[in-house]
Amino acid sequence: MRLVLSWLREFVDVKASAEEIAEKIGLRGFEVASIEALDGGDAVIDFEITANRPDCLSVLGLAREVATAYDLPLARPSTAAGAAVRLASIPTGTSDRLKVTIDDADLCPRFAAALAEVTVGTSPGWMAARLLAAGVRPISSIVDITNYVNLELGQPMHAYDLARLAGPELRARRAKPGEHVTTLDDVERTLEPEMLVIADRDRAQGIAGVMGGAASEVSAATTMVAFESAYFKPASVRRTSKRVGLKTEASSRFERGADVNGQVVALQRAIALMEQIGAGRPVGAIIDCYPQPRGPKTIHLRRARLALVLGIAVPDEDVVRILRGLGLEAAPAGDGWDAVAPTFRVDLLREADLIEEVGRHYGFDKLEATFPVATQPAPPPDPRVPRDRLVRRVLTAAGCSEAVTFGFIEAKAAELFVSASDEGTPGAFDRLVRIANPLSAKFDTLRPSLLPGLVDAVAHNRRHGRRDVRLFEIGTRFSPDGETRGAAVAWTGGGAGEHWSGGSREVDFFDVKGIVEQLCDALMVPIRFAPVRLPFLVAGQSASLALAEGAQKGAVVGIAGQVTPAIADARGLPRQDRVFAAELNLDALARALVQASDAARPLPRHPQVVRDLSIVVADALPAETIRGTILAAGRDLPAPLVASGFFDRYQGKGVPDGAVSLSIRLTFQAADRTLTDAEVQKSVETILAALVERHAAVQR
């Protein structure tokens, strides 16, 4: 709201400078966007008005705040002679020259109108200058009057050329199916039945609360106008404004909530201005259609509650001064006051609202800094907080940078990764959570997975010249069954940093697999990998993560693999890039936590024995399957198996096609004795026999 200083001083005789006023009102909850100096010592203060204070989208509303802040009288609009802001003294009644009808009192509780004979011309310099300073372009004397009243009193108005109205009549009704109207911006718009329009006898003449129609626009040839001043239901205007794609000065006020008792005053002010600049004279009475009048709301404010919430006792005279200065009636009532909130203060609904008003103008800087009394012990911390902190530390240590992406994504991006939401169970999640009122098509779906946003973040970094991108995110995923917490990684570029001693290599599946294993080790959850086919991951370069122990053994808790080139290309990544990603369900991992013993164990006293074993198996056989066979066979051996691992993989001369040679290192150790060669040899033979039996392995 651009407040012109000279305009403000017509309502309140404040001598302070624009900078001093901006500082004082800024401390009372109104952010100051800018201060602009004008010629002649005038200035404009641009305030950011919050959505709950539509009354301050006017000079009068801000003047009321300034008057209260400086404890000065407010010059209210009046019909009295010599009033600073003069209203025309015109009674309300009926007219035989214009019919006003409300068909839907829910969407339009009040509709007022007035007729005037006019001579359309240009506005005087002072009015045009104020409109320009407030950010409104002058058009003609009659249109400028309606805009002037809107800025001054916060009541949007519209002027119709009476000769262009069929009837002549103004009717507030819902639009007919398929009805069209050409608005003042010369755009033909299709209306919907739930939209409210202002119509004459035959057709719609404007979209109620948003914009008038071109068919009845005031022009230089207009000699008789009908001024409209109405109140429209905020939700209806907000919905209609969004549907038709129009955001106007009028809609921004109506959709927040105008004053249902301010329509007649606005017409009186418009007629007074019209007479003042010589643009016309009123014809007949003001027509006021108000089927169910609404009154102010009475709210009780307790003295003790005020002191408890603010932490300080505010003197009674200050409470009354503040409330009355803001336009409320305040009368003593037992343990406090009964305050009558005027209809222009749509935000005052309960006692806490009155306490806020008193606190704002008494001065929050006067409140003493006190530490709240602890009446009960602090609740235990949410276990997810230290868990997420651990995940963040592990992934950061692995060289990843944290990303934070939107929870709202576009549907086509969500559909690409839809099965990731169920950690690799294809088809288990085939429904997306759509947003009923999205801000745009880019944010119309709640993300089922962290991967869409993370892959887009990788693409963004690549487009800005980053070659090696390694990102992770911890966040919430959404499904029709609720929310789950997840962690995801996306990696492209080098698998390790460049070094002078040797060239770099590209990231591969095993790099991402290693990060996942590190994370699960830190969370103390044993997992195993298994091949999986997912539409967004490359076959043969993807795996599911399943729990290896516990009551939920075998439950899938994550996925890892290479994102398909088609998806990478569709999300804006260079064609040559290979992107590897992984995603884990942190909630499922937390439930599967294996509690480790904190007991100290002595170091082994007896030596370990290491044996290497080379076998040839089918190259399609997963290493995880071989490891499982070794561990299963090593449970009851003469020589206890304490560790096993792969240290070489070979394909080539001497190895049949379709096969691979794997070298396995087996470590044996007993806690109570030194192992003999016979015990170790028998144990190796038992493991080899199991590999031969289950996988047709051939020892090399």
Per-residue model confidence as pLDDT tens digits over 635-647? 889 999 999 999 9
The answer, yes or no, to whether residue 472 has pLDDT greater than 60, is yes
pLDDT of residue 386: 92
Q: Where are the strands (E) in 468-596, listed by range?
A: 469-479, 482-492, 527-531, 537-547, 556-563, 579-585
Q: Please tell me whether the peptide bond between 168 and the residue prior to it is cis, using omega within 30 degrees of 0.
A: yes
d(CA 79, CA 565): 75
Q: How does residue 623 score in pLDDT terms, banded at 50, 70 and 90?
A: confident
Give the residue range(s) of CATH 3.50.40.10 domains in the chain: 92-289
Listed in order, the ranges of the chain carrying CATH 3.30.56.10 are 2-70, 297-366
DSSP conformation class of 86: B
Span 571-585, mean pLDDT? 92
DSSP state of 194: T
Q: CA–CA separation, 207 vs 181, rounded Å? A: 8
Q: How confident is the model at residue 53 (pLDDT cuts 50, 70, 90)?
A: very high
pLDDT for the residue numbered 381? 84
CB 270 within 8 A of CB 156: no
Whether pLDDT at 372 is above 80 = no
Is the predicted pLDDT of residue 243 greater than 90, yes or no? yes
Q: What is the pLDDT of residue 553?
A: 87
**Count of CB atoms within 10 A of residue 616's CB?**
19
Q: Specify the pTM.
A: 0.65
Q: What is the pLDDT of residue 431?
A: 67
Reported as a pLDDT band with limits 50, 70 and 90, residue 428 is very low
For the segment 86-132, what is each residue's pLDDT rounded down to a tens digit? 999 999 999 999 999 999 999 999 999 999 999 999 999 999 999 99
Q: Whole-number mean pLDDT of the chain?
A: 92
* Whole-number pLDDT of residue 581: 95
Which one-letter amino acid corresponds to residue 211?
Answer: M
Percentage above 90 pLDDT, the chain: 78
Token duo for residue 133: 């300073």
CATH architecture of 92-289: 3-Layer(bba) Sandwich (3.50)
Helical packing angle, 18-26 and 59-70, nearest 10° = 80
Closest CA to 142 of 117, 110, 167, 165: 117
The pLDDT value recorded for residue 374 is: 81
pLDDT attached to residue 596 = 66
CATH 3.30.70.380 residue ranges in the chain? Answer: 609-699
Burial (CB count within 10 angstroms: exposed 0-12, middle 13-18, buried 19+), residue 532: buried
Cα gap 117→100, rounded to integer Å: 18
pLDDT tens per residue across span 506-535: 999 999 999 999 999 999 999 889 889 999
State yes or no: pLDDT of 429 exceeds 70. no
Among the CATH numbers 2.130.10.10, 3.40.50.300, 3.30.56.10, 1.10.1060.10, which is that of 2-70?
3.30.56.10
pLDDT at residue 424, as a whole number: 43
DSSP assignment string, 237-300: HHHHHHHHT---HHHHHHTT---TT-HHHHHHHHHHHHHHHTSEEEEEEEEEE-SS----EEEE
Show the tokens assigned to 213: 């129609």
The DSSP symbol for 606 reads S
According to the CATH classification, is domain 297-366 in 3.90.420.10?
Answer: no
- The arithmetic mean of pLDDT across residues 372-386, rounded, is 86
The CATH number fitting domain 609-699, selected from 3.30.70.380, 3.40.920.10, 1.20.1440.230, 3.40.50.2300: 3.30.70.380
208-237 per-position pLDDT tens digit: 999 999 999 999 999 999 999 999 999 999
Q: Hey, is 387 helix, strand or coil?
A: helix
| Amino acid 421: pLDDT | 46
Q: Which of 3.30.56.10, 3.30.930.10, 3.30.2130.10, 3.40.50.1820 would CATH assign to domain 384-496+504-591?
A: 3.30.930.10
Tens digits of residue pLDDT in 179-216: 999 999 999 999 999 999 999 999 999 999 999 999 99
